[in-house]
Amino acid sequence: MMTMSKVAAYAASIAVLLSVGVAPESPLRLQLLPEAHAIVGAPLTPVSVAGVARRTTRRTVAVASTTTATQSSAQAATAQQQSATAQQQSATAQQQSATAQQQAAATPQPAAASTAAAGALPLGTVVPALPAGCTQVAQGGVQYSKCGANYYRAVFQGNNLVYVTAQP
Amino acid sequence: MRVRTKWKASRRLAGLGLALASLAAAPVQAQGPGVDPEAARILKRMTDYVGGLQQFGVDTSNTVEVVLHSGQKIQFTSAAKSTVQRPNKLYAARVGDVVSQSFYYDGRTLTLVNPEDGVYATVAAPDTLDAMIDFARDAVDVIAPAGDLITTDAYTRLMADTSSGFVVGKSFIDGVRCDHLAFRGDGIDWQIWIEDGARALPRKYVITTLALGGAPQFEISMRNWTLTPDVSARQFEFTPPPGARQIEFLPVGNAGAPR
């Protein structure tokens, strides 16, 4: 939640395209850039370069949008999961359609706002930061953050700490 | 991202006035047709040397450029201290732009810790450094610090898709005289600076991703190399601090809820 203040600082929703090749010692601030500054690309790095060659499927890209605290209600937070695949074949099941990275970046996240009011997110949605107004809930030894209609649990996605919607 | 480049394997060690130095003369393999043999030789001398070090510590500073929609480039920097003991231990602590993170590999498990967030994740890992680095990347998408330069097969990894390369000349990095090499691969240009003395250590490494608009670069500088680091077991074994919470890794290729 330490990222909350940063998130709230942006008047608009945050939508970030984390490029697949992103960084070993990955710059985690990438996740917090305002939507207007969505990232088109980051350089390959030694290990990730090798990874591209070795894998048939790179990790899908998390495009998450989080409305800010300025959007009042506890529902304020939404996130939309898209996935981009580095390679055509990779499409992952639960995720929304895969598009080439460039394409995704070029279409400036039109869906972010429209799905904002939807409330409950599909399970497995990944966001880089928790929305405002969450309460902590422990269940079955796992700690969840309940934020509006959604429960999130913290996980590492690669080197990045992210939050994924879950069913406690 | 269509960039494909592999960094591959070979190994041997050479070293530091050791009798093993003769091994450095082992034939240079797997080099692209356009690679100047001298550039290949210098590179291989480094990978053999580093691959043969049984332990070392190094401080790294990484800069990653990202390209925004506007075409503007932004750099992010982080620094890390790494300690390696072959065949299977690695510890690295990183202080980045926003989040600090530690990486522990003790030969059995690897653990990622975000101390400020009070969370960590542990996963069983292969029992050699080389295998662990591949595993970390493939299974959990975690990039081990300095990953590619420290594997025993670094030369083959680096040269796999490299089609040309040459010696740029001598250059001083942090006051140390180095050989500056430049290579070109599939959508990638890369440069490396290697000490030209007895210790054939890498001092700087730059990767330019040509396939992306703006050709962003990744740069790593290496300094404070030590061949006598603290390698006590507790360096590499993670003990959860009081109150730290264990979480999971999201499986690669699956943004869905972890099982």
Contact residues for B58 (Cβ-Cβ < 8 A; gap 6+): B81, B82, B146, B222, B223, B224, B225, B226
Q: Which of B66, B102, B259 to mutate to test binding with chain A, by most A CBs within 10 Å of its CB?
A: B66
Those of residues 25-44 in B touching chain A at CB distance below 8 A are: none
Domain for residue B98, yes or no? yes
Domain for residue B27, yes or no? no
What is the C-alpha separation between B229 and B199, in angstroms, rounded? 16
pLDDT the model gives residue B10:
29
Q: Which of B43, B218, B219, B220 to mutate to test binding with chain A, by most A CBs within 10 Å of its CB?
A: B218
pLDDT band at B146 (very low <50, low <70, confident <90, very high): low
Name the residue among B188, B216, B252 with its Cβ closest to that of A49. B188
pLDDT the model gives residue A87:
29
pLDDT the model gives residue B129:
92
The answer to whether B258 contacts A29, with C-beta atoms less than 8 Å apart, is no
- For residue A53, what is the DSSP state? H
pLDDT band at B32 (very low <50, low <70, confident <90, very high): low
pLDDT the model gives residue A101:
35
Complex confidence, ipTM? 0.76
Helix (H, G, I), strand (E, B) or coil at B112: strand
Q: Domain range spanning residue B162?
A: 34-246
Helix (H, G, I), strand (E, B) or coil at B64: strand
Condensed to tens digits (0 to 9), the pLDDT of residues B82-123 reads 999 999 999 999 876 656 889 999 999 999 999 989 999 999
Domain for residue B257, yes or no? no
pLDDT the model gives residue A43:
67
Instruction: Name the burial class of residue A103, with classes exposed (0-12), middle (13-18) and buried (19+) by CB atoms within 10 angstroms of its CB.
Output: exposed
**B16 vs B74, higher pLDDT:** B74
Contact A32, A95 (CB under 8 A): no
Helix (H, G, I), strand (E, B) or coil at B163: coil
Domain for residue B4, yes or no? no
Residue contacts between A and B (CB atoms, under 8 Å):
240
Q: How many Cβ atoms are within 10 Å of A34's Cβ, its own excluded?
A: 15
Q: Which helix (H) or strand (E) holds B184?
A: strand B176-184
Q: How many domains does chain B have?
A: 1
Please compute, for residue B58, the number of CA atoms within 13 A of its CA located in the half-sphere on the CB side: 24
pLDDT the model gives residue A97:
30
B249 Cβ under 8 Å from any chain A Cβ? yes
pLDDT band at B31 (very low <50, low <70, confident <90, very high): low
Name the closest residue on chain B to residue A60, using Cα atoms.
B253
* pLDDT(B14) > 50: no
Domain for residue B13, yes or no? no
Contact B86, B95 (CB under 8 A): no
Condensed to tens digits (0 to 9), the pLDDT of residues B133-145 reads 888 888 888 877 6
Domain for residue B259, yes or no? no
Domain for residue B16, yes or no? no
pLDDT band at B175 (very low <50, low <70, confident <90, very high): very high
pLDDT the model gives residue B246:
95
pLDDT the model gives residue A59:
35
> How large is the average pLDDT for residues B32-41?
90
**B102 vs B23, higher pLDDT:** B102
* pLDDT(B49) > 90: yes
* pLDDT(B128) > 50: yes
Those of residues 92-131 in A touching chain B at CB distance below 8 A are: 92-95, 101, 105, 108, 123-126
- For residue A57, what is the DSSP state? S
Condensed to tens digits (0 to 9), the pLDDT of residues B150-172 reads 888 889 888 888 899 999 999 99
Q: What is the CATH number of the domain that holds B80?
A: 2.50.20.10
CA distances from B15 to B43, B48, B154, B160 (A): 14, 8, 16, 24
Mean pLDDT by runs of 10 across the 168 residues of chain A is 31 23 40 54 57 36 33 29 30 30 36 47 88 90 91 90 90
Residue type, B244: A
With contacts defined as CB-CB under 8 Å, which chain A residues touch B50? none
Name the residue among B60, B68, B114 with its Cβ closest to that of A40. B68
Residue B213 has phi, psi (to 5 degrees) of: -55, 140
* pLDDT(B26) > 80: no
Domain for residue B57, yes or no? yes
The answer to whether A38 contacts B99, with C-beta atoms less than 8 Å apart, is no
Helices and strands in chain B: count of H runs, count of E runs:
5, 14
pLDDT the model gives residue B113:
94
Name the closest residue on chain B to residue A167, using Cα atoms.
B257
CA distances from B170 to B31, B159, B176 (A): 22, 21, 10
The answer to whether B257 contacts A59, with C-beta atoms less than 8 Å apart, is no
> Considering chain B, what is the average pLDDT of its residues?
82
Q: Using the Cα atoms of residue A30, residue A35, residue A36 and residue A42 in order, give the sign of their dihedral.
A: positive
pLDDT the model gives residue A38:
59
Please compute, for residue B239, the number of CA atoms within 13 A of its CA located in the half-sphere on the CB side: 4
Name the residue among A27, A47, A155 with its Cβ closest to that of B249. A155
